[in-house]
Amino acid sequence: MYKIKVNPMATEDLIEIRDYIQKELDNPTAAVDVIKKIIAKYEGLKKFPLMGVELSTKINVQTDFRYVVSGNYLVIYRADHEFVYIYRILYAGRDYLRILFPNEVGTNFQEE
């Protein structure tokens, strides 16, 4: 079984997601539920680290990032022979490719 390592940026993402739902949407119960679902989703990567979609299917840049979907959120990660590294957790409606690859020019992104 793989071990999970969470990047500090992903931890910050979780805090921001929780705070937004809890404070801006005034729904503390939903905030807890969403965070639990996201964590459960990436915990599932312990058994199936390659279950996520390769991010290179969305961008014309070679990358070993993968992602899994948890509700409205994308868990961006990499896996090696022992660890799953959780890199970012982003709202799917955001321009997540530009967040992950800020230095890439627009022509490197595939149209959907």
Q: What are phi and psi of 40, to 5 degrees?
A: -60, -40
DSSP for 18-30, written as a single string: HHIIIIIS--HHH
Which of 74, 75, 73, 54 is CA-nearest to residue 65? 54
pLDDT of 105: 46
pLDDT of 104: 64
What pLDDT tens digit does each residue of the chain (112 aa) get?
Answer: 999 999 999 999 999 999 999 999 999 999 999 999 999 999 999 999 999 999 988 777 788 999 999 999 999 999 999 999 999 999 998 888 788 877 764 544 443 3
Which 8-state DSSP code applies to residue 8? H
**All domains of the chain, ordered by start, with CATH?**
3-99 (3.30.2310.20)
